[in-house]
């Protein structure tokens, strides 16, 4: 990539000669790239370009949009190896997983929209009315660092498919895959101004993006704190918002479940991307009389998750993405000890042989008390809370007992019983007995976890306004 010192505005790579932001390698802590710390003027130029391009792109044909997405899909497949290594180095996800997830999911999601678009009803009849679905306008996309390209694709593909124009502010911790995306789009038939990329800090370019009157929608994935700021700013101008934020998801293991399988499934989910996943199952709720056995199983599973170099094919647990995140997680582990929970595995000390980079031991706490900070707050690291419960009603109460509502899991030998319990979760999705993730199903949260849905037709509808013609 030769364009990291630039922004992509109105179909051109625009030089940036101001301050820059260092991008660090998660496994070593070394600086591997520098990107623009852009100013408000650069963001305003990008918004103006998107605004000017909106009228013609909003009237483009479905065939035009599909052709661009087909070209994008081909480019994502062609550069998959480069994308996987880039994200592996920035974020710390082991290369084997990064290949399937960080590089694979963006292509998969793009493909789902290519399959869906030809049959999507952009107009439909309702009695004597023709109902039309029109693009919302210029969309500001603000994306996180944990799944940096995947989260961008979840926004820009349906936005472009809807006929919107886009200004993207990627996360400055892991921005390089967004530059790969811009290079791919630059080689497609997408008209200039439809997609724009400006890199910089949230308090400058992000603030400009969410408050600019030409931006009619903000699609954001990240922390609940930042989502709160965006919601307030959007309210002043009545912008549409789609917010996908934090989680503290519960994995409820019912008394009749296969305990070993349920603990293994929970651990694998909790530690994916070193716990840097908003849907991570970070609270494992177990019957009180099986608590100690569950902790033993969790400790054994965690022992196999030795932190190591994420670029090695055999590594299963990589580092965290930044020094700041590592320090935050270590502080939470220390808090767990201070709060009196039982340290079952791991701890705040650096893992052996991992003196460089941002590594944290996979950590398990037992006898975690509902309502404690460790049980309530999103840690965003490889930390599992084992919470004992008394009966099914108690388990559901604890599972729903946080401000979040993004994901969850239920394990039972009785599939219908598991579904019944899952239906009582105040969350946007529930994995029942380890069911597979479905990229066509709606994804989003209740409560402080978000507003709106991504993936499938629900993801496309977020970028459409509804208009009815009375005939």
From 25, 172, 244, 462, active-site residue:
244
Residues in Cβ contact with 289 at an 8 Å cutoff, skipping those fewer than 6 apart: none
- CB-based contact 215:37 (threshold 8 Å): no
Active site residue 130: no
Facing residues of 131 across strands?
124, 468
From 270, 278, 295, 385, active-site residue:
278
Active site residue 82: no
Q: For residues 402 and 220, what is the distance between their CA atoms, to the nearest angstrom?
A: 22
Do the strands 281-287 and 249-253 form a parallel or antiparallel pair, or are they unpaired? parallel
- CB-based contact 258:411 (threshold 8 Å): yes
Q: For residues 219 and 455, what is the distance between their CA atoms, to the nearest angstrom?
A: 13
User: What DSSP string describes 174-236?
Assistant: S-HHHHHHHHHHHTSSPPTTSEEE----IIIIIHHHHH-TTEEEEEEES-HHHHHHHHHHHHH
Q: Is 383 helix (H, G, I), strand (E, B) or coil?
A: strand
- CB-based contact 249:282 (threshold 8 Å): yes
Q: For residues 432 and 225, what is the distance between their CA atoms, to the nearest angstrom?
A: 30
Query: Which of the residues are catalytic?
Result: 244, 278
């Amino acid at each position: 990539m030769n364009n990291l010192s630039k922004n992509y505005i109105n179909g051109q790579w625009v030089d940036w000669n101001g301050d820059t932001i260092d991008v660090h390698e998660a496994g070593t802590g070394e600086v591997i790239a520098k990107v623009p710390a852009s100013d408000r003027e650069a963001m305003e130029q990008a918004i103006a370009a998107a605004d000017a391009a909106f009228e013609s792109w909003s009237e483009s044909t479905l065939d035009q949009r599909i052709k661009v997405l087909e070209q994008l899909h081909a480019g994502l497949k062609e550069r998959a190896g480069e994308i996987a290594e880039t994200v592996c180095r920035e974020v710390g996800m082991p290369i084997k997983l990064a290949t399937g997830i960080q590089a694979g999911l963006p292509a998969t999601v793009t493909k789902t929209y290519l399959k869906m678009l030809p049959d999507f009803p952009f107009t439909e009849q309702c009695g004597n009315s023709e109902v039309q679905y029109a693009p919302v306008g210029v969309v500001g996309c603000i994306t996180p660092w944990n799944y940096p390209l995947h989260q961008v694709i979840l926004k820009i593909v349906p936005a472009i498919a809807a006929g919107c124009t886009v200004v993207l502010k990627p996360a400055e911790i892991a921005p390089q895959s967004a530059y790969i995306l811009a290079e791919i789009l630059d080689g497609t038939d997408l008209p200039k101004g439809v997609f724009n990329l400006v890199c910089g800090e949230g308090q400058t370019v992000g603030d400009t993006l969410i408050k600019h009157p030409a931006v009619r929608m903000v699609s954001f994935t990240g922390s609940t704190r930042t989502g709160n700021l965006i919601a307030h700013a959007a309210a002043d101008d009545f912008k549409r918002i789609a917010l996908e934020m934090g989680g503290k998801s519960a994995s409820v293991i019912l008394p009749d479940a296969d305990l070993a399988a349920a603990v293994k499934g929970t651990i694998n989910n909790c530690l994916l991307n070193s716990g840097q996943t908003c849907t991570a199952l970070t609270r494992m709720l177990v019957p009180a009389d099986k608590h100690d056995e569950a902790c033993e199983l969790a400790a054994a599973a965690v022992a196999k998750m030795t932190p190591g170099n994420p670029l090695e094919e055999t590594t299963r647990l990589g580092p965290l993405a930044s020094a700041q995140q590592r320090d935050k997680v270590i502080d939470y582990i220390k808090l767990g000890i201070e709060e009196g929970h039982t340290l079952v595995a791991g701890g705040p000390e650096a893992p052996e042989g991992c003196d460089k980079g941002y590594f944290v031991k996979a950590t398990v706490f037992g006898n975690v008390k509902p309502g404690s900070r460790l049980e309530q707050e999103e840690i965003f690291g490889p930390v599992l809370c084992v919470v004992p419960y008394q009966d099914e009603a108690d388990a559901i109460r604890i599972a729903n007992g946080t401000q979040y509502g993004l994901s969850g899991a239920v394990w039972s030998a009785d599939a219908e019983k598991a579904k019944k319990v899952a239906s009582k979760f105040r969350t946007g999705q529930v994995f029942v007995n380890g069911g597979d993730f479905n990229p066509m199903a709606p994804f989003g949260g209740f409560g402080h976890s978000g507003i709106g849905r991504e993936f499938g037709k629900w993801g496309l509808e977020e970028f459409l306004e509804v208009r009815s013609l009375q005939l």
